[in-house]
Structure 1
């Protein structure tokens, strides 16, 4: 093992589960949502029998975003932002769905994209 890499389990980033079932996406669509300039974020707290703890995330882009190349690029960028932000700022036991926006998601600077996600999470989970 490289000396700079810690073997401590807390040093590893939390992994994100992936939403794959349509029912999970529909449940998130009925829950809280927060729009930002580059994406729409939907979030819902899972029930006891809905998969336990951890953070799950799903990504989607409609055909309004563009052709398959544009949709895939937007989803890749959303995925990269989510993997950087959600392990630290997301809440365990919650599902998040990130929805890309036409022309903006693929072109917005990556730091601004991450800032939009942080802003949405702050609105969805206000600190008391």
Structure 2
């Protein structure tokens, strides 16, 4: 494979720390999978020119090993044939499969994957929720009294 051909293909995420880093990125929910995206160019300016990298995750609750491997193969092929062209340089993508990947038509699976990769503006990262310590204290004096209720003995 020449260097020019290698630049146009998506790389692979292989180690656990790479997968865990992508978890901190934005999440794009789909019918057949969850797509997690991390913009490496923000953290590492030199990564802006790097080829996109992709990883696949199928949890054990999705089925036995044969079914999980079939799901992974279908997703890899959808990325290889069409979705890698929509991927942005300097980004990492993790596709977390759902069981519906097995029964979906390949055309709908590819279309869903392309749509989730290209559609960035609709799906934003979750805003951090304030912890209980940061929440304002509530005044319990405004609670209705239990005076009119019968008591259990």
With normalisation by structure 2, the TM-score equals 0.68
State the 1:85 CA deviation. 2.6
Uncovered stretches (5+) of structure 1, i.e. residues with no partner: 1-8
Alpha-carbon offset, residue 30 of structure 1: 1.3
Whether contact under 8 Å (2:7, 2:51) holds in the other structure is: no
* Correspondence for 1:74: 71
CA contact (8 A) 1:40 1:99 kept: yes
Deviation of 1:124 after TM superposition, in Å, equals: 2.5
The runs of at least 4 aligned residues of structure 1 exceeding 4 Å deviation read: 49-52
| Coordinate RMSD, CA, aligned | 2.3
Partner of residue 109, structure 2: 113
More RCO (CA 8 Å, sep 6+): 1
Which has the higher Rg, Structure 1 or Structure 2?
Answer: 2
- Measure the CA separation in 2 of the matches of 1:32 and 1:17: 19
Counterpart of 1:87 in structure 2 is: 84
Structure (1/2) with the larger strand percentage: 1
1:86 Cα deviation from its structure 2 partner: 3.2
For the structure 1 residues 59 and 121, does the alpha-carbon distance in structure 2 shift closer, same or farther, using more than 3 Å as the test? Answer: same
Map of 1:1-128 to 2, 5 A cutoff?
Answer: 14-46=8-40, 47-48=43-44, 53-102=50-99, 104-124=100-120
Structure 2 runs not aligned, ≥5 long: 123-153
Q: Report the TM-score when normalising by structure 1.
A: 0.81
Cα distance change, pair 36–81 in 1 and its aligned pair in 2 (3 A): same
